A and B are shown apart, each in its own frame.
Chain A
């Protein structure tokens, strides 16, 4: 997209009519061209005014209740994705050993043997569950215009790795910033320059209640406390 084409698309962009790829491309130009951004302002202002022109109509019967209930349901914490259980580990033959011992010595009571078996079985179960827990890293796929990748989050959210392919180097005076998003809003996780090949960035601990991660193109003078530039990649909402 060149500047003339970008100028042509400003009204549609202001009205939110561009498809995501077009919008992302235009946003990259806008981020690097203050004059183009100035051309956009009157269209954005007109669009904002148009939001005041809706004529409310009576809602269909029960619609308000259905909408409120639907929203509440969808905002419930998501059900954890069931992970397939690991292949059953061969259990140490404590049961046999314990029973053999009980039979051999004939002094232990049946109750004592049962307690021992229960304890040892529970310990094996605990080890299996811990192994499952350790394997539950989270993968958040990221996609954007021509770029793809993922954020791999450790099971305890203590660290994560961002891996991206196809994100070009940030334009002069800009950098990329990766954010987590949740009920707390957007929180910066790291900033980085693009690369022509594969890019791997180690991220610090992430909030457990995050619902999405995304990457923006930020001007270098941005404070970094909230996104100011366009989103170039995002995980699914």
Chain B
């Protein structure tokens, strides 16, 4: 079944309105977790859709899923807005495309992602040690850098970095059995 995003990427500009309607809820959820302010989150979601209009046709399905790509743009737009308001950076952080361009196509992993549900992901997060889960939630869903997390938790920054690295590795390994089962 052709998605709104696929139609938009194929040149159907009219599909963009439907795409906005489809992803407003998830994008808002991603933005409000970073900003903790519904009004700012609305602004960030608008930013995200404008970026999506400008860069949507660069999306390469071989390098990632549509949903994660769009929600990464929304999350980055929220982090960008927060940084601009804090006057920490004058320039914008990049959108998802630059990071996604670093991905090597991996059909097997894309099969894992295609079947991954929110429930399964939350279950995998729940299997992490609590201190690692805390760091990954702060870093990914709240957009906090290790230095900020270390300050809040009164931990050495190196400890937070180690926990983040371990958490990401374990999360990926937790999902790996599914991946291996799919491999020929």
Binding site for B on A (CB under 8 A): 8, 11-20, 23, 27, 30, 37-38, 40-57, 59-60, 63-64, 66-68, 70-72, 74-75, 143, 181-186, 211-212, 226-231, 237
**Contact in complex: A20, B171 (CB < 8 Å):** no
Task: State the Cβ distance, A154 to closest chain B Cβ, in Å.
Answer: 23
Instruction: Report how far A184 CA is from B56 CA in the complex, Å.
Output: 10
Question: Given contacts A37-B104, A68-B24, A74-B46, are A49 and B118 in contact (CB under 8 A)?
Answer: no
Q: Judge if B156 is at the interface, Cβ distance under 8 Å.
A: no
Which of B88, B98, B118 contacts A27, CB < 8 Å?
Answer: B98
CA distance A64 to B102 in the complex (A): 33
- Chain A to chain B: the 3 pairs with minimum beta-carbon distance, closest first: A185-B57, A51-B68, A46-B168
* CB contact under 8 A between A68 and B21, given known A56-B29, A57-B32, A63-B28: yes
**Which residues on A sit within 8 Å (CB–CB) of B28?**
56-57, 59, 63, 67
Q: A71's contact among B50, B97, B125, by CB below 8 Å, is which? A: B50
Residues of A within 8 A of B122 (CB): 53
Contact B171 A44 (CB under 8 A): no
CA distance A215 to B43 in the complex (A): 28
Known: A8-B161, A53-B118. A45 touches B172 (CB 8 A): yes
Is the pair A63, B104 in contact by a Cβ cutoff of 8 Å?
Answer: no
Residues of B within 8 A of A (CB): 13, 17, 20-21, 24-26, 28-30, 32-33, 38, 42, 45-46, 49-51, 53-55, 57-58, 60, 64-65, 67-68, 71-72, 75-76, 79, 88-89, 91-94, 96-99, 101-104, 106, 109, 112-113, 116-118, 120-122, 124-125, 136, 139-141, 143-146, 161, 164-165, 168-169, 171-172, 175
CB-based contact A23/B50 at 8 Å: no
- Give the docked Cα–Cα distance between A49 and B17 (Å): 26
Q: Which one of B42, B55, B71, B97 contacts A67 once the chains associate, using CB atoms below 8 Å?
A: B42
Question: Are the CB atoms of A14 and B168 closer together than 8 Å?
Answer: yes
Nearest B residue (CB) for A75: B53
- Complex Cα distance A40/B171, Å? 15
Residues of chain B with a CB closer than 8 A to A182's CB:
54
Chain A residues with CB below 8 A from B146, complex form: 12, 17
When C-beta atoms are compared, the residue in chain A nearest to B122 turns out to be: A53
Give 9 A-B pairs besides A19-B89, A49-B171 with Cβ atoms closer than 8 angstroms. A42-B169, A43-B169, A45-B109, A51-B72, A60-B42, A64-B24, A74-B46, A75-B50, A237-B51
**Of B33, B53, B96, B109, which is within 8 A of A54 by CB?**
B33
